[in-house]
Amino acid sequence: MKYAQFLIALLFAVSARAADFPTTTAGGESINIPTAHSVLMLRVGDDGRVYELHYGAPEKEIAKTNVLARETELYPPFGDGFILEPALEATHADGNTSTDLIYVKHSTTTIDTNVSLTRIELRDPAYPFFVTLCFKSYAAEDVIEQWTEIRNGENGTVTLARFASAAPQFKAREYWLTQFHGDYKTEATMDEEKLGHGIKILDSKIGVRADRFRFPSFILSLNAPADEETGETIGGSLEWSGSFQLAFDLDFKNRLRALCGINPFASEYKLKPGETFTTPSMLWTWSDSGKGQVSRNFHRWARQYGIRDGNKPRPVLLNNWEATDMNFTEQLIVSLFDGAKKIGADTFLLDDGWFGNAHPRNKDNAGLGDWQANTNKLPHGVSFLASEANKRGINFGIWIEPEMVNPSSDLFEQHPDWAIQQPKREFIYGRNQLDLDLSNPKVENFVWGVVSNTLSTPGVSYTKWDANRFVNQPGSTYLPADEQSELLIKYNFALYGVMSNMAASFPNVMAMACSGGGGRVDYGSMKYFDSFWPSDNTDPVSRIKIQWGFSHFFPAETIAAHVTQMGKRPLKFAIDVAMSGALGVDMDVRKLSPSDLQFLSNSIALYKKEIRDVVEQGDLYRLESPYDSARAALDYVSADKSRAVLFVYQLKGGEDKSVKPRGLDPQKHYRVRATNDREVYTGEIADGATLMRDGLPTECHNAFDSAVIEMIAQ
């Protein structure tokens, strides 16, 4: 029997359950999801399945006579004829391991003048099992946000073994994939390769702060290696802080499918009757102008929709960690406020070591879980410090790590079962600590209490949320035996619940995400944070590459960039590197010479008055890569192209070649002003076309020379 005949017979057989199985619309219906410069084109086949035709340029002509092969199904399920990597694998309540997904209907809702939501409803013709594919289109930013809702209408539990957020296909002659990987202190290292036939997987299996070794974003270049300003390029970024999988399957017809979502490894999910499982969102953007435009699309989207306070200036921080570590007193911390005031910092951030009494936090082996101010160090409490900072015109911030516990703590002694653990196994510690089991509602409430109580302290207006280990013994004393594989998924959903409460309850407390460096850099968490800490490696030479990598997806205001003495580089070089992100300072300013202290103060004043708004709100153009040459260069250009800031970093000695800025208005005339130097000079006025064609001299000859050049339209 032909499949179409079989399908008709089957639908007739279950017609008595018409309420569960709405009539399928006839094949051939087109579903287009457009943005300003791209379109995702879909079509319903005569067999009732939804197929992908094209993602890219909107003027692309797709013949209606195209054969809609099963290999191009938009969201392929397992077990009913599809032979390649599936997006969905489910075992139904009766034990059937096959699923078929047939189109029911779709709808498009206009949310506002820029955003629309398309929902495509599918269902299995033999079971009350429903899948809705959701696409939110952000027109001006050229971003499509995609997620999947899976609903169990059966009488028993359905077991989900795979549940991708998205599984689009691309068609080109060849494919070049750029990933961003690294370990502690080497975060966001770029690595590009040409994809061959078979499956290439980028993933994490470590459960929480899961992008320690790579973050869940990628660049896909079609037909040639990725270029900053030319070529067809696709950017993808998953909104998930847990274990993820990005799988790229190049098939026998040279089509590339990207299966993106939660890592299915050891993560079967029991979907109870009536329950809906919603996957994290996957973000897509397309450009025919290289990866530079992909980045600018993500940055514009993030400021409007993806991060907290996207249009609010980030404060200049002074952190005490390098000055004191955990060894400080109340008097010492108060004395540092004067230094913060002197250099022009907006906020003083008190780092780790302020809490714990029976188990004082003097080293990293005690105190986590006991979130009361240490009375020996801070006899008047945290509110006293905040008050003293505020008296000096400085805001006050504080460090927390609420998801973790030290065995040496009151919390662990009272609730050892609250830690993630495997029965009959000895604990494996990371940084002398364990993860708390957020799948347990009591633990989730406790963690929220830590956050709420700490941020309710009068005078606290900033927090740094750290997470210094991942999960390597994924077991829960709370979850039943048949739900143990759900631990890491439920952990992250609960974590987002706490983070969401924080953002809603404390809208005036800005927050930095920190996870032993860049271990939690994704748009799943960043919607609740203003910035992130990219790496504990603050050597400016290393930071150039680290910040370069993260800049492909995250705007400058999210990238915390602090001036430190790591690497023993020239102070000007360290400051100039930090000024290309969200500027901060992490050093003992009391030990600076009078001239260096004055230079640091002048630099911060310059940044706040003249540079910060262009860097944090402008369009980024990466000009010269630190991977390819002896120097790095980038510029930021304001939306109206009236101002630009160019950064140049000499990594090795070499010829002082002109640097060619990009993004200027060719018709505007700009005054060129080299600044943040001990001898500021003002250059000539030139039109944007000339500056972009001929470039600018930088006076950078030797290793660790640097330049910051402003271009201001006249």
Model confidence pLDDT, tens digit, residues 178-199: 999 999 999 999 999 999 999 9
Same fold, 19-307 and 317-618: no
Token representation of residue 673: 């002003």
DSSP conformation class of 609: I
Residue written as tokens 């960039």? 561
Checking DSSP bridges between strand 404-405 and strand 217-222, what pairing results, if any?
unpaired
Question: Catalytic: 536?
Answer: yes
- Please indicate, yes or no, whether the overall pTM of this predicted structure exceeds 0.85: yes
CB 115 within 8 A of CB 36: no
- In whole angstroms, what is the distance from residue 535 CA to residue 543 CA? 8
- CATH code: domain 19-307 is 2.70.98.60
- In whole angstroms, what is the distance from residue 305 CA to residue 390 CA? 32
Token representation of residue 190: 């770029």
Pick the CATH number of 620-713 from 3.40.710.10, 2.60.40.1180, 3.90.1310.10, 2.60.40.730: 2.60.40.1180
Write down the pLDDT at residue 22. 36
Residue written as tokens 């599936």? 86
Write down the pLDDT at residue 681. 65
Write down the pLDDT at residue 654. 81
Domain boundaries, the chain: 19-307, 317-618, 620-713
Question: Catalytic: 80?
Answer: no
- In whole angstroms, what is the distance from residue 479 CA to residue 72 CA? 39
203, 536, 665, 687: which is the annotated catalytic residue?
536
Write down the pLDDT at residue 656. 74
Alpha carbons within 13 angstroms on the beta-carbon side of residue 637 total: 21
For residue 152, CA distances in Å to 16, 92, 130, 146, 368 come to 19, 9, 7, 20, 40
For residue 200, CA distances in Å to 161, 214, 222, 249 come to 20, 14, 16, 7
124, 142, 466, 522: which is the annotated catalytic residue?
466
Write down the pLDDT at residue 132. 99
Write down the pLDDT at residue 318. 98
Write down the pLDDT at residue 67. 59
Report angle CA 91, 92, 97 to the nearest 5 degrees. Answer: 40
Write down the pLDDT at residue 679. 65
CB-based burial, 687-711: b 16+ in 10 Å, e otherwise: bbeebbeebbebebeebbbbbbbbb
CB 660 within 8 A of CB 694: yes
Write down the pLDDT at residue 346. 98
Fold exhibited by the domain 317-618: TIM Barrel (3.20.20)
Stretches where the chain sits below pLDDT 50 are: 1-26
Average pLDDT, the chain: 94
Write down the pLDDT at residue 678. 64
